[in-house]
Amino acid sequence: MSVCPDVGGWTWGVQLIGYRRGAQFEPVSEPRRIEVSGQRITYEWDARVNEWFVNRCGGVEHGFTVRERPGGHGTAIRFEIGVRGQLAPRVSCDGRDAAFVDTRGHTRLEYRGLTVFDADGTALESRMERVGNDLHIVFDDSSARYPITIDPVAQQAYFKASNPDADDEFGYAVAIDGDTAVVGSLAESSVATGIDGDASDNSAIRAGAAYVFVRSGSTWTQQAYLKASNTDAGDLFGSALAISGDTIVHPCSTASGKAANADAGDLFGNSVWIEGDRIVVGAPGEDSVASGIDGDSSDNSVAGSGAAYVFERAGSAWTQSSYVKASQPDVEDGFGFDVALAGEAIVVGANEEDSASGGVGGDVTDNGAPNSGAAYVFDLGASGCPGAEFPVVSDPVSATIGFSVMCPPMVQTCTGFTAVMFGECSPIDFPIDPPIGCGACSLLVVPSWGVVGDPLVVGPGLPIGFTFCVQCACIAGSCIDLSIGTEVVVGP
């Protein structure tokens, strides 16, 4: 296989030279057969060895299948792979990863996570070595049952439910954290409740279940069979799952229970995510006209606009802490179809949002691209007023050519112009509470060096590394609406 990128001035290729056990070397030259199937190409080198490449979204997967035990003396098998082109292999200390670097030491390609396993799925001791400019893969087959698979990105285990049945849809949802995995089976039909109940009575059609697997060394075993505490037909328990540490979340059974404004057809629990003591749950069928964070959920006039809910844990008690809506909710946007959480940041997908704008911070009012979809990022720890968004800073922030800062759509209807404040970044947000602020707002730019109308345009000349903060503001009736504040660092 060879790679010839359009830019970069380098080429790279790998070619199997042969394999050996001890002194007995089996060279390969021409494949006996080449087979192409979809995104996979397989080279049959001899009666023992196939080499294959699979074109995946994350890169090209390269591996070998060894059908029979090679001859020779010793327990170690060594595959010798020639590296062509301008890149040299650099192997990690543990021998599991290899980077291919150019003459300046920049990594251009990588092999990651070498795994060698036998016909029983048992992981074999293996490593990569650099020999000259070649890459060798070495593994111990003394206790292996053939065939053996050599794969930098490989299957480690094959899970099945303890009570498999036709049409259970085991694997519909999965989640993993460390050595614990959970697998959803949304159409499983037993009437069992709780943990490890009797799975023999399948009279609750499509009630659903989840299965917990734990890993010890390289061995996975089923630890628990989970059902809702109130199992009922059609519940689809197991349709969405998340795990963090020793806490597994399924929206039908968590202590967080229901949304504070639960209503028919909200699809609360269509998506879930957990990180530590915080859970976010999507409800893409929710109908309220509210926007931003913690708005008024009583007006259900925007059908299917969607919502997301944040729950926090204190001790063993979960409470709803935030109600999150799009900045411009619209009918059937499906906001909450998928969710993700990292620290104070929440990402919410709206797979049927209709805006024709592209990139970041575009015009959300142009619904010229039906069902094009959108994603929204919220900072739970951010400054500004509830539901506020970040200013849009041009890229790059350059001392050479300058840059600009544009205000995002404000949560409230501004009765005057929108201004950009710039100044020092306060280490602690300064509170601007009602009636001055439009809600429990906070100011990041303290003190302010100046205020200009939107947008702020900065010409060239600022020193590289110069840092300041920006935040947008406007008068909205009798209160001040603030965007989130953000830090700006000037680059070359």
pLDDT tens, 433-489? 899 999 888 999 988 899 999 999 999 999 998 999 999 999 999 999 999 898 899
Does residue 455 share a domain with residue 375? Answer: no
User: Which of 441, 401, 398, 403 lies closest to 422, judged by CA?
Assistant: 403
Does residue 260 share a domain with residue 407? Answer: no
Q: Does the residue 159 lie in any domain?
A: no
The last residue of one of the domains, among 333, 355, 379, is 379
Is the pLDDT at 141 greater than 90? The verdict is yes
Q: Does the residue 55 lie in any domain?
A: yes
pLDDT tens, 82-109? 998 888 899 988 898 888 888 878 777 7
**Radius of gyration of the chain from its Cα atoms, rounded to whole angstroms:** 28
Q: Does the residue 165 lie in any domain?
A: no
User: Under a CB-based contact definition with an 8 Å cutoff, are residues 226 and 210 in contact?
Assistant: yes
Q: In whole numbers, what is the pLDDT of the chain averaged over residues?
A: 86
CA atoms of 79 and 150, how far apart (whole Å) = 10
pLDDT tens, 202-228? 999 998 889 999 977 656 789 999 888
**pLDDT value at residue 371:** 92
Does residue 475 share a domain with residue 369? Answer: no
Number of domains comprising the chain: 3
Structural domain boundaries, residue 47: 2-151
DSSP-based three-state secondary structure for 488:
strand
Does residue 405 share a domain with residue 353? Answer: no
pLDDT tens, 33-58? 999 988 889 999 999 999 998 876 55
Q: Does the residue 161 lie in any domain?
A: no
Q: Which two tokens stand for residue 186?
A: 């949304």
CA quadruple 259, 346, 474, 442: dihedral positive or negative? positive
DSSP-based three-state secondary structure for 18:
strand
Q: Does the residue 158 lie in any domain?
A: no
The last residue of one of the domains, among 92, 120, 151, is 151
Question: Would you give the distance in Å from CA 149 to the centre of its chain?
Answer: 28
Backbone angles phi, psi at 171, to 5 degrees: 100, 5
Does residue 226 share a domain with residue 110? Answer: no
User: Under a CB-based contact definition with an 8 Å cutoff, are residues 401 and 458 in contact?
Assistant: no
Q: Does the residue 123 lie in any domain?
A: yes
Strands 148-151 and 115-117: antiparallel
Does residue 319 share a domain with residue 250? Answer: yes
Does residue 396 share a domain with residue 373? Answer: no
Q: Which residues of 168-199 are buried (b: 16+ CB within 10 A; e: fewer)?
A: bbbebbebebeebbbbbbbbbbbbbbeeebeb
Categorize the per-residue pLDDT at 18 as very low, low, confident or very high, splitting at 50, 70 and 90: very high
Q: Where are the beta strands (DSSP E) in 284-418?
A: 292-293, 307-314, 317-325, 335-342, 345-350, 374-379, 392-393, 403-406
Cα dihedral angle (315, 215, 178, 182), rounded to 10 degrees? -70
Does residue 208 share a domain with residue 127? Answer: no
Categorize the per-residue pLDDT at 271 as very low, low, confident or very high, splitting at 50, 70 and 90: confident
Q: Does the residue 264 lie in any domain?
A: yes
The last residue of one of the domains, among 122, 151, 180, is 151
Cis bond upstream, residue 396 (ω within 30): yes
CA distances from 372 to 114, 287, 338 (A): 39, 20, 15
CA atoms of 394 and 226, how far apart (whole Å) = 49
Give percent of the chain with pLDDT exceeding 70: 93
Q: Which two tokens stand for residue 99?
A: 């980077």
Question: Would you give the distance in Å from CA 129 to the centre of its chain?
Answer: 32
Categorize the per-residue pLDDT at 325 as very low, low, confident or very high, splitting at 50, 70 and 90: confident
Does residue 339 share a domain with residue 194? Answer: yes
For residues 398 and 255, which has the higher predicted lDDT (pLDDT)?
Answer: 398
Does residue 129 share a domain with residue 28? Answer: yes
Does residue 398 share a domain with residue 368? Answer: no
User: Under a CB-based contact definition with an 8 Å cutoff, are residues 19 and 77 in contact?
Assistant: yes
Categorize the per-residue pLDDT at 155 as very low, low, confident or very high, splitting at 50, 70 and 90: very low
Does residue 268 share a domain with residue 239? Answer: yes
Is the pLDDT at 171 greater than 50? The verdict is yes
Q: Does the residue 387 lie in any domain?
A: no
Find the mean pLDDT for residues 272-279. 87
**pLDDT value at residue 28:** 94
Tell me the three-class secondary structure of 32-93, residue by residue: CEEEEECCEEEEECCCCEEEEEEEECCEEEEEEEECCCCCCCCCEEEEEEEEEECCEEEECC
